[in-house]
Amino acid sequence: MKNNELNTIREALKISPDNVPLLKLFAKLCVEQWALGEGKEVFERILTFHPNDLEAQLGVAQVLYQMGKVSEASVRIESILQNHPESAEALLYSAKVKISEGDFKSANDHYHKSIALNNSLKDGAVEKELKEAGLSAIPAETKPDTPVLNTSAGWIAEESNELLTGEKDGSLLEAIDNIERPKINFSDVGGLENIKEEIRLKIIYPLQSPDIYKAYGKKSGGGVLLYGPPGCGKTLVSRATAGEIKASFISIGLHQILDMYVGNSEKNLHEIFELARKNAPSVLFIDEIDALAANRTDLRHSASRTLINQFLAEMDGDIASNEGVLILGATNAPWYIDAAFRRPGRFDRIIFVPTPDEEARLQIIQVLSKGKPVEKLEIRELAKKTKDFSGADLKALFDLATEASLQKAMQENRVIPITTNDLLKQAKRLIPSSKAWFESAKNYALYSNQSGLYDPILSFLGIKK
């Protein structure tokens, strides 16, 4: 847990305030979480003991660069390079700074020196800039045989063509269910009206009236992050969105990307985005987004940091345009998610998907009873008596009642309809599954409510507002 991790290190630093490795770890974590000011302070503190520490020097330069103080960063980098002309990281930062300053020729020069020294520093964003400036992003001699952390727009496209046509064994695309054209639409989702409307605004209207949207300088696409307790319709509404606009639906759980081949995660991620782009209009549903964000603090695996950067670049449309691609992310643990994910153009809409209220339960029950042998259900009564039930809990009610009545039907050899009483009987036995979730969510909302992000949880619990 990110905040805890930072706090643990803070505590440890109180005991040994001059522990340099600890200070470095802390500073890097700060920078990763965009606590730039604090990160910079800590790097500078290290420099007071060890003025020649390369990592700390680079850290300060990086923070300055990330703060947008390009000329200050440039001065720092130049002095680092004077003492360490072979530092691949310094050369990479120098390239970034030069690009910001518009000096593409030097940027190109430094970038190539950097990746020749350390190929894992390949940087998609830098390569894209260089390419746009008319400079070859990757000279043939530095092209590795097996690309690992490659984010170059140019030849990733070649790679993924191969994969998209399914020529490669063990491709991620074979592991996922590929492209689906869902038959369900919004009418199959009970309640969640605000979410449906948000999605309409973000993709459905822009697709229906592209000219109007263009006139206002708006594009379709972008990201919506859905969070909340399990079983409340995040996956369902995402699938229904695709059905609603007859778009393709591409669904992936992050563990599928992370678990595949060590080091191939970036490529997998890129393939998924490419698949969505090629099939636009499309809904790209990424479940368990938190797995990606939580990895961010795992400094031992630097690849996962690359993966996050890759993810952000894919979302930003840096690598290729995401026009017509709606990215829907889902998580049960929004508190693991880095603020960098919430910047405009990324998941700029974050929506709480709560357990359904009585009206929503009523609608869900209606949806669930469609096509089932039910006898004049007292829907209102059922909705009233299923407080705190998630959509999935309600579905479980129907499943259990169906099973019981099927068993009877088999014995008596006739169809025996499901009654309100059957369902109420099951409801008494079921404990709402969202309870545990709300217990931990409440703590986050009360004690680490990042700029009011979790206010919807508090107001749902009747604690505030």
Residues at the contact surface with ligand ATP, assessed by CB under 6 A: 189-192, 230-236, 330, 332, 364, 367, 391-392, 395
- Residue number, 95 or 330, with CB nearest to Mg ion: 330
**Binds 191: which of ligand ATP, Mg ion, none (CB < 5-8 Å by kind):** ligand ATP
CB of 306 to ligand ATP, least distance (A): 27
**Binds 236: which of Mg ion, ligand ATP, none (CB < 5-8 Å by kind):** ligand ATP
Measured distance CA(81)–CA(125) in Å, rounded = 22
Residues 86-115: x where in contact with Mg ion by CB under 5 A, - otherwise, as a string: ------------------------------
282 beta partners: 248, 325
* H or E segment to which residue 227 belongs: strand 222-227
Question: Within its chain, how far is the Cα of 202 from the centroid?
Answer: 17
**Binds 223: which of Mg ion, ligand ATP, none (CB < 5-8 Å by kind):** none
CB of 371 to ligand ATP, least distance (A): 13
Please choose, from the candidates 217, 204, 198, the residue with its C-alpha nearest in 3D space to the C-alpha of residue 281.
204
- Residue number, 286 or 325, with CB nearest to ligand ATP: 286
Q: Position of tokens 């998580």?
A: 331
Q: How many helices (H) and strands (E) does the chain have?
A: 24, 6
Measured distance CA(240)–CA(184) in Å, rounded = 5
Please choose, from the candidates 414, 350, 427, 341, the residue with its C-alpha nearest in 3D space to the C-alpha of residue 388.
427
Residue nearest to ligand ATP as judged by C-beta position: 391
At 266, the amino acid letter reads E
SS3 248: strand
State which of positions 208-237 bind Mg ion (CB under 5 A): 234-235
Size of the site for Mg ion (CB under 5 A): 2
- Residue number, 23 or 367, with CB nearest to ligand ATP: 367
- Residue number, 56 or 199, with CB nearest to Mg ion: 199
**Binds 221: which of ligand ATP, Mg ion, none (CB < 5-8 Å by kind):** none
Measured distance CA(120)–CA(97) in Å, rounded = 19
- Residue number, 182 or 391, with CB nearest to ligand ATP: 391
CB of 331 to Mg ion, least distance (A): 9
* H or E segment to which residue 261 belongs: none
Measured distance CA(301)–CA(295) in Å, rounded = 8
CB of 144 to ligand ATP, least distance (A): 38
Tell me the backbone φ, ψ of residue 216, rounded to 5 degrees: -95, 10
State which of positions 234-253 bind Mg ion (CB under 5 A): 234-235
The set of residues, in sequence order, having a beta carbon less than 8 Å from that of 371 and lying 6+ positions away, is none
**Binds 233: which of Mg ion, ligand ATP, none (CB < 5-8 Å by kind):** ligand ATP
CB of 67 to ligand ATP, least distance (A): 37
- Residue number, 231 or 281, with CB nearest to ligand ATP: 231
CB of 282 to ligand ATP, least distance (A): 19
CB of 356 to ligand ATP, least distance (A): 6
- Residue number, 182 or 190, with CB nearest to ligand ATP: 190
* H or E segment to which residue 327 belongs: strand 325-331
Measured distance CA(186)–CA(53) in Å, rounded = 58
Measured distance CA(440)–CA(199) in Å, rounded = 28
Indicate the angle between helix axes 124-132 and 153-164, nearest 10 degrees: 110
Print burial letters for 397-427: b (CB count within 10 Å at least 16), e (below 16): bbebbbeebeeeeeeeeeebebbbebbbebb
CB of 188 to Mg ion, least distance (A): 15
Report CA torsion sign: 72, 73, 77, 80.
positive
- Residue number, 99 or 360, with CB nearest to ligand ATP: 360
**Binds 231: which of Mg ion, ligand ATP, none (CB < 5-8 Å by kind):** ligand ATP
- Residue number, 62 or 235, with CB nearest to ligand ATP: 235
- Residue number, 324 or 329, with CB nearest to Mg ion: 329
Angle, CA 176 vertex, CA 120 and CA 245 arms, to 5°: 110
- Residue number, 191 or 324, with CB nearest to ligand ATP: 191
CB of 192 to ligand ATP, least distance (A): 5
**Binds 362: which of Mg ion, ligand ATP, none (CB < 5-8 Å by kind):** none
- Bond prior to 139 in cis (omega within 30° of 0): no
CB of 243 to Mg ion, least distance (A): 16
CB of 190 to ligand ATP, least distance (A): 4
Q: Position of tokens 């690359």?
A: 306
Residues that bind Mg ion in the complex, under the rule CB under 5 A: 234-235
